Each structure stands twice: as structure tokens, then as C-alpha cells.
Amino acid sequence: MKMKRFPIQACLILIGSLIAIFTSNNLIAQVTSDQDESIYKDFKTEHMWDAKVTISNMIMVGESKRGTRRVIPITGGTFEGPKIKGVVLPGGEDWQLVRPDGDTELNARYLLKTDDGVVIQVINKVLMHTPKPGEGGQPYTRSVIDLEAPVDSKYDYLNHAIYIGTLNMSMSPGEGPAVVIGVYKVL
């Protein structure tokens, strides 16, 4: 796909206030360099935290109008990263749907409370794909995460980025089952 770029001045007249973002150096540089590279590209991310989220027994709705529905209650936990730490508040839930094509979509919504008393909302949408027998390939678990922090708190910076995540199973002796969720800001 070949395309020329107009001078910035012409763009400004056309689209006004949106332009500032599009002309940021790192975006232009990135798209340009893409064209010389292989199909693999590393996206730099910043690790925000790992959360260890404790869960209780799955509740089955069963085969529903949209797929297989099941719900996993979130009972608590902790989270810690370079610039933030605290606890997972009990009461959140992970509403899962096994889609008609067999993949599982997790839709977890819960609250964090930092050690300095700020409450942050997490919405974590996870896609889990397991290759069918004989299909080859690896199981796949990745997520996109939306964070809502108070705008008048020191964690307001969480409101202004896209996050991707990992999900891993973990258990500590004497505790119930838990998952470990890694949260990464896409830079």
C-alpha cells in the first residue's frame, strides 16, 4: 500500500484538534519503520503490576442464548507493581462465555484498593483459545484491560493508556485457588 503524506498544515485545516496526536514523532517514526521490518514487531510495554486474585467455585448457568455461561466469584487478593500496591476487594466477578466457536471470553470486573486508600476499577477481557486436537499451535491467553482511577488521585495516569494482560493459574498452600494477572501498559 503506497501513500503520500500531505504537509501538516493541510491536515490542520481539515481535522483541527485531532492533529496534535497524529503528528507526534513516535507515531510517524513507527509507521515508517514498519515498512522495512519483518512481520514481527516488538511493542514496548511498561509492567504496571501483578495481581494475585483469589476465586471461589464456578457457578454454571449452562448453555445460554449466547454460548455457555459461567461465573467465577472473586473473593480478594493482592496486587503489587513498581509504583503501586494494595489489595483486591472481594465482590468482583468473572463472567465467562464459551463462544459458539469454542473459544472462551472472560469478562472480569473488580475493584483494587491501594495501600494509600484509592479505589480503582478493573475490567479485564480475556480471550482463551485452545487448539483442537491435531491442529497444532499453543494454547493462547491474552487480555485487554480497562482501568478507571479517580481523576483527582495520584493514580490518574492509569486513565490515559491501553493495557494488555497475561493470566496464569497459581495456588498457595492453605489458600483457595487463585489466578495471577499481569497488567502491562502499551507504550
The interface with a copy of itself within residues 8-27 (CB under 8 A) comprises 10-11, 14-15, 18-27
- Give the total of residues touching a copy of itself (CB under 8 A): 106
Give me 119's grid cell.
479505589
Q: Is 180 in the site for a copy of itself (CB under 8 A)?
A: yes
Position among 92, 108, 124, 183 found at the interface with a copy of itself (CB under 8 A) = 92
Calculate the CA 100 to chain-centre distance.
23
- Least separation in angstroms between residue 159's CB and a copy of itself is 4
- Least separation in angstroms between residue 184's CB and a copy of itself is 6
Q: Interface residues for a copy of itself in 42-61 (CB under 8 A)?
A: 42-47, 50, 52, 58-61
Q: What pairing do the DSSP bridges indicate for beta strands 104-114 and 84-88?
A: antiparallel
What length does the chain have?
187
Q: Is 114 in the site for a copy of itself (CB under 8 A)?
A: no
Q: Is 36 in the site for a copy of itself (CB under 8 A)?
A: no
- Least separation in angstroms between residue 116's CB and a copy of itself is 14
> Please, is 59 exposed, middle or buried when counting C-beta atoms within 10 Å of its C-beta (0-12, 13-18, 19+)?
exposed
Q: Is 119 in the site for a copy of itself (CB under 8 A)?
A: yes
Q: Is 73 in the site for a copy of itself (CB under 8 A)?
A: yes
Distance separating alpha carbons of residues 139 and 130, to the nearest angstrom: 5
Position among 84, 86, 183, 184 found at the interface with a copy of itself (CB under 8 A) = 184
Q: Is 178 in the site for a copy of itself (CB under 8 A)?
A: yes
Give me 106's grid cell.
472472560
- Three-class SS state of 38: coil
H-run or E-run covering 26: helix 25-34
Q: Is 183 in the site for a copy of itself (CB under 8 A)?
A: no
- Least separation in angstroms between residue 66's CB and a copy of itself is 6
Position among 86, 88, 124, 170 found at the interface with a copy of itself (CB under 8 A) = 170
Give me 179's grid cell.
489466578
Q: Which of 74, 73, 108 is nearest to 89 (CA)?
A: 74
- Three-class SS state of 150: coil
